[in-house]
Amino acid sequence: MKPRYIWIGILIIVAALLAGCSSAAQTQEKSTEPVKFTLETTPAPPVAGKNEIILKLEDQDGQPLTGATVDVSADHTDMTGMTMSGPATEQEGGKYAITADFSMSGTWKITVYVRKEGLDVKKDFDLKIP
């Protein structure tokens, strides 16, 4: 008798896990990215010193996202407290640009904040300066 009870218990646990998985997958399907980010630099690849960071933003339908407020922060992840930030300037075609002076090589975490009407999203990029 005892082993049978154990099996029933295991089956209930497996059923609960499967239910958890399927509901998680459903929520993922629903949350399509509201903004598509493309990050480019001039020069490419980026160098130590001044670079232009260009963010190309598209909405859910693949149309250029214009009229947004875009702020960019850069954090030298190899060190603490080495962070800079500023607003990006809108250009044509859903592009936003900001000049960043990377005083040191290494990995910089670029965080982009996009706000427009009901939209408030952010995205991180890792930029490696050789």
Chain residues that interact with Cu ion, rule: CB under 5 A: 76, 79, 82, 104
Distance CA 108, CA 104 (A): 9
Looking at beta carbons only, is 68 or 75 nearer to Cu ion?
75
Looking at beta carbons only, is 76 or 95 nearer to Cu ion?
76
Minimum gap (Å) between residue 106 Cβ and Cu ion: 7
Block residue for tokens 């009407």: 117
Minimum gap (Å) between residue 99 Cβ and Cu ion: 18
Q: Which residue is nearest to Cu ion (CB)?
A: 76
Distance CA 65, CA 54 (A): 14
Distance CA 77, CA 95 (A): 26
8 Å CB contact between 69 and 88:
no
Looking at beta carbons only, is 82 or 121 nearer to Cu ion?
82
